[in-house]
Amino acid sequence: MTAAVDTIEPPSTSVGVLGWLRKNLFSTWYNALLTIVMLWLIYVVGTGLLNWAFTGARWEVISANLRLFMVGPYPPDQVWRVWLVVALVAALFGLSAGVFGGTIRTFANSLAAALATLAVLQFATGGVRELTTYMSSLPGQSPVQWLTTMPPGPWLVAGLVLVIGAYLLGRQRKTWRRWLIPLWLLAFVLTIVLLQGFAKNNWLPVVSTTRWGGLLLTFMLSVVAIVVSFPLGVLLALGRRSQLPAVKVFSVLYIELVRGVPLVTILYMTQIMLPLFLPGEVRVDNVLRAIAGMTLFTAAYMAENVRGGLQAIPTGQIEAAQAVGLNNALVTLFIVLPQALRMVIPAIVGLFIALFKDTTLVMIVGQLDLLGVGRSVLAQPEYLGLQTEVYVFVAALFFIFSYAMSFASYRLEAALGVGKR
Amino acid sequence: MERRTAVPFWRDVRVLTAVSQIVFVLILALAAAFFYSNLSTAMRQRGLVAGLGFLGRESAFEIGESLIPYKPSDTYGRAFTVGLLNTLLVSGIGIVLATILGVITGVARLSSNWLVNRLAAAYIEIIRNTPLLVQLVFIYFGVFVKLPPVRESIEFPGSIFASQRGVFLPRPVPTSTFSSWLIFVAVGVIAAIVIWIVLARHPRTRVVAFLPQLSGLAVLILIPLLGWFLVGAAPFDLERPIRERFNFSGGIGLSPEFSAALTGLVLYTAAFIAEVVRGGIQAVKRGQIEAARAVGLGEGQILQLVVFPQAMRVIVPPLTSQYLNLAKNSSLAIAIGYPDLFNVGATIANQTGQPVPVIMLIMGTYLAMSLFTSLVMNIYNRSVQILEK
């Protein structure tokens, strides 16, 4: 039944590499011109940049101050607590990846890859010597000291093992699903307790928040602000849609006032006025004031995001719930909120990215976040004039985290089918 | 008649509504009273006073740059105005430049040229995923501060100089024929507007792609150009900046702080505007363009009559919030020492030792600026939206 057909091959200029070039780079005369100009631009900028990065730049300003960039003035002998938090988060990520799969698995994969890369880098640059000294010091010490004196290399390996182990475990235990969100919240509380410590004990002495710094402070500021602003934002969003005029007016005023002023003025206000507003005996340190400012600010934006979700719930859902006899509170709690919050998850990730970048503003009120540490490093006489190196490093760190999160948010949006249901 | 079952008052919706609101207001009032009493105690203990009386006192501090004459013996009120004007200046110019760069980048992002498209995407991603403050300090400390000293300043075509002292541009200076030339400019502007309106209203000319806009533009350029030749001598001279030993004289000087703040804000906001523009153009359904082609419109007509009006509808609201963001973000210029509203305000707060009223004043001013911008953009937005019912 097959008839022999003489098929003529498409001309070689419209397929393959040549075809692609023709279609995408040289389709018209002005596109060709643009392409050539752009290629020249890339060549000039690219060679200049590579030349600088590999021969001109003095990267020792980064490697010599790496601990400062990561944890700031956090006491060096207590840094094992930060590592413990990293391990905890790695384990929870692995577990979530195993249980949920999908986007979180991609994330856990990149986390594992990052840990592996850092471990290799660490061992390649003197980590092996550190490890042997550590091993030889082990016999004379208690197990607690084994933990507290562990060098970065083994910690990174431990993190890697935990991600993979927890992932394999999670894959067997799909029913742990419902425990994961409580577990994450528990980890959040545990992290703060671990980093902060208690008074009057030998293992976890208090490290006041004024000594948190670097990337650690940047992360803690943004995570605490987003977690605390979430309930506030939901309440404000519900308040804005409330039928009670008093509640509504209050919510609208709060949201619009906060959204109308720059974040830095709010940070400045909490920095100076928070102590005035509280009774004289309550002392709030600078980092807590910054967190309060970030939270108050984020709550207003969170409220607007949540409101978007609330508005997208069809009235039929509410009417149906009322018809089966639920009262207003129950309708909101069990019908409206679960659907609305699910819809705004990608928007909240977007808000978190913005917040993560905005934490740099605490530098203006004198905190040692990642950017603040960069600035204090540059103030040391031996690193004068290395602004380019330091700020490129800081920008690159922010870029990696923000880009990873926006990628995740994009994937999440597709997975949740926002706007497609 | 059916007897209505009496609702007990604790289940009556009206009572419940009223009671819950009273409780809410009471809680708010109690919280406010608590904070207020703490505040007044603290302010009394620290010798702080409320009120804006300090605005009339002598400021006694220098401000790096100012649009209006200002000296340290002027009042705090005048210093505050200087800061406000600096904020308005950097935001105003920033909004215009960011819009131009943003539209170009947004269109480049949709280009069929793969290289242009990818480059625009790389620019947008890099800018959007790093904090503005990092970009600002990088541009200021990493670029503008590191420019060569005046003697070795970099010269760009058109007598533009860049050095440690900032950027210097030539300044147009009116000559004796300037006032007579101004008449031609005025005539040109009026004629352009009249021609544009007439052509845009007429059913025959209005559908020719960009005819009203282009003819208006042509008149706007041609009449002043004609005047240039008719008045005899050039209506203004270019005063070029002259390099001296330690600084430039003449021309327009832009301080390194202003240049860095403007560059940072424009590059940052343009990346966001580019995404807004791309989203707006992509929101116009393909079917619209295909239908327009099917009824025989040309490419220019499609752009002007089909794509543009529909894209604007999607673009304007997010564009407004980008403008507002730019104005609010200009407060970050404090990190590089540009004397904007927030920077001057913080200095006043430090000097007077009266932070509370100063913060209120700063926040109030930003709020007023935001509300005013939203108002203007809302009016414009209403003019591009579909008129329903």
Tell me how close the Cα of B47 comes to any Cα of chain A, in angstroms.
Answer: 12
pLDDT of B90 reads 94
Tell me how close the Cα of B331 comes to any Cα of chain A, in angstroms.
Answer: 7
Cβ <8 Å between A25 and B115: yes
The region that residue B63 occupies, defined by phi over 0 for left and psi between -120 and 50 for alpha, beta otherwise, is beta
Count of all residues that appear for chain A in the document: 421
The helix/strand/coil state of B153 is coil
Contact B116, B104 (CB under 8 A): no
Residue B170 in tokens: 């030539």
Q: Please state the pTM of the whole predicted model.
A: 0.87
pLDDT of B180 reads 84
Residue in B113, B356, B363 closest to A25 by CB: B113
Cβ-based contacts of A392 with chain B (< 8 Å) = 138
Cβ <8 Å between A276 and B356: yes
pLDDT of B134 reads 95
**Whether B389 contacts chain A with CB within 8 A:** no
Q: Which residue has the tokens 């075509």?
A: B157
B 343-372 residues with CB below 8 A of A? 346, 349, 355-356, 359, 362-363, 366-367, 370-371
Q: Which of B135, B163, B68, B166 is nearest to B333 (CA)?
A: B135
Tell me how close the Cα of A357 comes to any Cα of chain B, in angstroms.
Answer: 5
pLDDT of B231 reads 79
CA Rg value for chain A? 27
pLDDT of B43 reads 80
Cβ-based contacts of B45 with chain A (< 8 Å) = 280
Tell me how close the Cα of B238 comes to any Cα of chain A, in angstroms.
Answer: 32
Query: Among all residues of chain B, which has the CA nearest to that of A278?
Result: B38
Q: What is the pLDDT of residues A236-255, one digit of tens each?
A: 999 998 888 889 999 999 99
pLDDT of B388 reads 52
A367 to each of A71, A375, A396, how far by Cα in Å? Answer: 13, 11, 20
* pLDDT over 50 (residue A419): no
pLDDT, chain B, mean? 86
pLDDT of B389 reads 44
pLDDT band (50, 70, 90) for residue B4: low
Cβ <8 Å between B126 and A399: yes
Q: Which residue has the tokens 């009339």?
A: B56
Query: Among all residues of chain A, which has the CA nearest to that of B141?
Result: A387
Residue in A265, A364, A387 closest to B363 by CB: A265
B140 to each of A301, A380, B261, how far by Cα in Å? Answer: 30, 19, 8
**Whether B138 contacts chain A with CB within 8 A:** yes
Q: What is the pLDDT of residues A193-241, one digit of tens each?
A: 888 888 777 778 888 888 888 999 999 999 999 999 999 999 999 999 8
pLDDT band (50, 70, 90) for residue A324: very high
Cβ <8 Å between B356 and A34: no
pLDDT band (50, 70, 90) for residue B387: low
Query: Among all residues of chain A, which has the CA nearest to that of B332?
Result: A264
Q: What is the pLDDT of residues A16-55, one digit of tens each?
A: 788 888 777 777 788 888 888 889 989 999 998 898 888 8
Q: What is the pLDDT of residues A114-170, one digit of tens each?
A: 888 888 888 887 777 878 888 787 777 777 777 777 888 888 888 899 989 988 888
Q: Which of B303, B299, B271 is nearest to B103 (CA)?
A: B271
- What structural domains does chain B harbor? 76-148+252-384 (1.10.3720.10)
**Whether B132 contacts chain A with CB within 8 A:** yes
The whole-angstrom distance between residue A287's C-alpha and the CA centroid of its chain comes to 19
Query: Among all residues of chain A, which has the CA nearest to that of B28?
Result: A250
pLDDT of A421 reads 43
Query: Among all residues of chain A, which has the CA nearest to that of B20?
Result: A244
**Whether B114 contacts chain A with CB within 8 A:** yes
pLDDT of B61 reads 83
The helix/strand/coil state of A72 is coil
